[in-house]
Structure 1
């Protein structure tokens, strides 16, 4: 676990991380919607020179059923090189894999064979509840002082508040809740930070009962899901400011701060507006001594015949974009936006963060379109670009198609299937092109649905940097 020299996949600055070698493997969270079989971490070959390129080359079943794997992450990353890091010689070796439904946390060792991760520890729901007071673990981030794990629910069946648990870097024990003073924060979802500025940011989704059986129309139209982001003093672990986007902007989920540690801005994606079913991207930024948010991208709903829509959408006669994930390239140039409802991945040049310019678009799947992948032109796709991951050099983007079991079933009631696509990026002019050689789908995932992807050696949403 402890090295005498820093892990070679750690980079002090985003400028150096962009020069990292290309990933050769990708790890994918796959889950069984029926909860009758174990979920799995699936390993894909991403080396174009390999005879197994684009294929499943490793598979690790989890020991129990009913986990519903969602987001996961590394135990350590480039933040270990920050001046305040107490553990500069940890390795990027272990995958921390929470079960969103079970509240179990799995630790998988990717050594000695990175194609066959081995389970070395399972943290039970009772330990997370006892030590941190949380349940429904969601997002994993490797910090300089420990592993940060956001959670949506409280302990012992409590709906909340959700918050952040801290795990030890080396033993993976749950140290406790991170917050010393949570102020008005109750709902939770994502967590990230501006490390060098001692600023932590969190977003909001809903409590367990609001999400686990699907989206609840009455709550959505009643504007009861999350609609604010929160700013915290990272060093003092205290709430500083709540910024409300407006209660019509429901579910500000994924947070993507600038990778450049000298910058004080970031992007958050909003799933849906109850006014017109549009989705949006907002920029958080400094406003004097306080924080402010500005809407910088609007993505309208698309009119559709009610007969082509799932029951949830029939009364509206339109397909909402449903922005369920965003990702920012390590050089802070391109923002990728997943429109899971309309089946589109958009690319924006955000060199000027307040004035994004769309530079690329690829359609795959979609509630109405069902756009096929170019390698299988006769196969209509369900789902759409959902989780999106960008390589460190910004030249490759990976998208998977499942959102969350119960929500999949509402928006794609005839089945969401399972597929994962790779897109090649024109890093000079912008633009995206599907890689026809890389499209694992269907039986390759043995009946499981696929959600988040992590890249060997790190990716655009796994690492934080303390040097510009």
Structure 2
């Protein structure tokens, strides 16, 4: 009699996942800025230090259409498949689900036959997504016990408006199952989606509807405090809205959600990109307070004074460079928080052993709107800055790229971003060191964005066991 054996990359607990073998490959979403003629692509990067191809793209999978704007992607299945209340031990971490944020097209990519040369096996067209879930502009996805959860920024009417929300994809057939929400309450804007499986709670954050973001950051909307600033808490099992927390109108662009990996913990971190009063960025902690969820600001990152002549038109009048924290990542042991300051060109590392009192322990500067800090192995100054960040399961390696979103790239780096990917080594004492051997300069016309690591990474999995 045949027996099912769970995928060896699934781990019951984050503590066990930290002992997994190191990744040898990284998958990177690559935007092609020549959208008239050439499609976006998935790059496969050699991250094995013992390989002769270390730090280089070893294959590229072109998408079948142009104009997708590949963005946040992830696996069809992960360690949550081992949860006792919805076990799926027979599924594999095999397929990458890659949405096009601008096209609303979703690509299913098979990595199993040859992980270094993945293949597209299915494409979900925007018409199918709209018909099944009444959503468009898929943004972020995570593999959950029941299937693949995907956040979407827009409705399915094709008018660039909302509400955005969450829909489910079956993690074996890849059929769009439908809209997740039974009762969305006051929620309208959408961005990220994550959860606390141990608390039966889902959390969503806010960016904007497609017509608010696709042509770039709109100064009138920003100064009018119209972008996302609320965090929503949901009953995960009953699919109903339970609570909203408003950060306040000055805190704009409430984006990335990073819950604690240990399911016995009920806290997590979120970044607010800009404070309208002083251009600072901030990190917020959500936590339980009695029978409700609460949030408090635990990190402030100030803007840095700058010569207006060195600033893009959007920032000249402010005479400062905002940090523009656009991504964060939390190590599997829930101890280290990594913070990408895309504007100032700084990657920060915080000790969050006490989540209410983070301590800055390490920092590296690369690129930046004004600083243009160099990499030891690069020729000349760098532009762009630390943006999408991913941490290895053992917490020793930190990878990041430097492109945010095409129309926003052009506003803050109007000369055009020259895209790169780098790796840092995270030391046990909290420091960060640049790996001088790893500097990937993407081919002209391509910009790297989201990174996924072979076998899983610090933001790919959720766990049901402590």
- Which TM-score applies when normalising by structure 1? 0.98
| Contact 1:307–1:314 (CA under 8 A) maintained in structure 2 | yes
Q: 5+ unaligned residues in a row in structure 1: which ranges?
A: none
Task: Kindly state the Cα deviation for residue 33 of structure 1 after the two structures are TM-superposed.
Answer: 2.0
Task: Kindly state the Cα deviation for residue 442 of structure 1 after the two structures are TM-superposed.
Answer: 3.9
Which residue pairs with 2:456 in the alignment?
Answer: 458
Task: Kindly state the Cα deviation for residue 88 of structure 1 after the two structures are TM-superposed.
Answer: 2.0
Match of 1:316 among 315, 318, 321: 318
Q: Show structure 1 runs of 4+ deviating over 4 A.
A: none
Which residue pairs with 2:375 in the alignment?
Answer: 373
Report how many residues are paired: 463
| Structure 1 position 135 matched with structure 2 position 136 | yes
Which residue pairs with 1:87 in the alignment?
Answer: 88
| Contact 1:149–1:164 (CA under 8 A) maintained in structure 2 | yes
Matches within 5 A, 1:56-455: 56-158=57-159, 159-376=161-378, 378-426=379-427, 428-443=428-443, 446-455=444-453
Q: Deviations over 1:318-349 (max 9, x none)?
A: 00000000000000010000000000000000
Separation (CA, whole Å) in 2 of partners of 1:420 and 1:236? 41
| Contact 1:399–1:421 (CA under 8 A) maintained in structure 2 | yes
Task: Kindly state the Cα deviation for residue 85 of structure 1 after the two structures are TM-superposed.
Answer: 2.1
Task: Kindly state the Cα deviation for residue 405 of structure 1 after the two structures are TM-superposed.
Answer: 0.1
CA RMSD of aligned residues (A): 1.0
Q: 5+ unaligned residues in a row in structure 2: which ranges?
A: none
Separation (CA, whole Å) in 2 of partners of 1:384 and 1:405? 14
| Contact 2:111–2:117 (CA under 8 A) maintained in structure 1 | yes
Q: Deviations over 1:57-94 (max 9, x none)?
A: 11100000000001000000000011122422200000
Which residue pairs with 2:55 in the alignment?
Answer: 54
- Which TM-score applies when normalising by structure 2? 0.98
Separation (CA, whole Å) in 1 of partners of 2:387 and 2:342? 5
SS of the counterpart of 1:219?
helix
Separation (CA, whole Å) in 2 of partners of 1:435 and 1:33? 28
Which residue pairs with 1:27 in the alignment?
Answer: 27
Question: Against the structure 1 CA distance between its residues 3 and 42, is the aligned structure 2 distance closer, same or farther, given a 3 Å change threshold?
Answer: farther
Separation (CA, whole Å) in 1 of partners of 2:87 and 2:373? 49
Separation (CA, whole Å) in 1 of partners of 2:3 and 2:57? 30
